[in-house]
Amino acid sequence: MTIQSAPDLSLNCGDCPIRHRAVCARCESDELKRLEDMKTYRSYEAGQTVVWAGDEMDFVASVVSGIATLTQALEDGRTQMVGLLLPSDFVGRPGRSRAAYTVTATSDLLMCSFRRKPFELMLAETPSVAQRLLQMTLDELDAAREWMLLLGRKSAREKIASLLAIIARRDATLRLTSPQGRINFDLPLTREAMADYLGLTLETVSRQISALKRDGVIELEGKRHVTVPDFDELLAEAGDDSDGGALI
């Protein structure tokens, strides 16, 4: 996915690049003005922790550009990546004062954040925001169920192809296009991060990406720029049907 350059910090909500997909997607002008009054932009460098699991979290936010990971730690110190935050994804949970997961910027990250208490009040008073957040939550639940299938039943090759398809589909959505035919996108994750997220070794990830490239399913320019000559073929490699199932 192409990492967008940080927008002007005076950016109006109506001009936001994630406006059509974010939690504010259904807001009217007066509701956008209310969000404008409570928002601030937060930027993080790659590798920087946004919030630690269990810490007080006095804000909620939408990812504007970049990518972050959600991780959870066990008592013995082991950690597991449990989610990705891509542009337009929502960070934080209204009604919960502490972070459930550690959020870490994988690339340079820009978030549009809202003070939690005023946002919770607006959520109670503004059906359009509450309905949009509910829709996003249900979409996330569907994606989590599909991810359980991916991790539990798919082969290493299918896992890599599925992750590429997810990223390609989200990139197309942000560009207001459909993922079909020949498509291009920038991979926002290192191979190490892909291995962690997919439960594979680094060697397996590298080997499967090389195999997909050798078989003509993908083309690579450098380590990050990906071209998919035929998106349907990528979906077939992922074990998905033509609409990609419930993956987002």
Give dist(CA 64, CA 111) in Å, integer.
5
- Sequence-distant (6+) residues with CB within 8 A of 139 are 248
Q: Which two tokens stand for residue 146?
A: 């599909």
* pLDDT band (50, 70, 90) for residue 241: low
Residue 68 has pLDDT above 70, yes or no: yes
User: What is the reported pLDDT for 208?
Assistant: 95
Query: What are 145-157's pLDDT values in tens digits?
Result: 877 777 778 899 9
Query: What are 159-213's pLDDT values in tens digits?
Result: 999 999 988 988 888 777 878 889 999 888 889 888 888 889 999 999 999 999 9
Q: What's the whole-number mean pLDDT along residues 127-140? A: 89
Q: What's the whole-number mean pLDDT along residues 11-39? A: 83
Q: Which two tokens stand for residue 67?
A: 């990518």
Residue 110 has pLDDT above 50, yes or no: yes
Q: How many CA atoms lie within 13 A of 98 on its CB side?
A: 5
User: What is the reported pLDDT for 236?
Assistant: 94
Q: Strands, E, within the chain: which ranges?
A: 39-44, 49-51, 59-65, 68-73, 79-85, 90-91, 102-105, 109-115, 183-186, 219-221, 225-228
Reduce the DSSP state of residue 241 to 3 states and report it. Answer: coil
Give me the chain's average pLDDT, please.
Answer: 85
Q: Which of 115, 125, 72, 110 shows the shortest CA–CA distance to 92?
A: 115
User: What is the reported pLDDT for 6?
Assistant: 43
- AA letter at 128: S
* pLDDT band (50, 70, 90) for residue 223: confident
Q: What is the DSSP letter of 98?
A: B
Reduce the DSSP state of residue 101 to 3 states and report it. Answer: coil
Residue 243 has pLDDT above 70, yes or no: no
Helices first, then strands: H and E counts in the chain? 7, 11
Residue 246 has pLDDT above 50, yes or no: no
Please report the domains of the chain, with CATH numbers, ordered by start residue. Answer: 13-126 (2.60.120.10), 154-238 (1.10.10.10)
Reduce the DSSP state of residue 186 to 3 states and report it. Answer: strand
Q: What's the whole-number mean pLDDT along residues 26-42? A: 87
Least confident of 1-15, 35-49, 88-102: 1-15
Asked if residue 63 lies in contact with residue 87, where contact means CB atoms within 8 angstroms, the answer is: yes
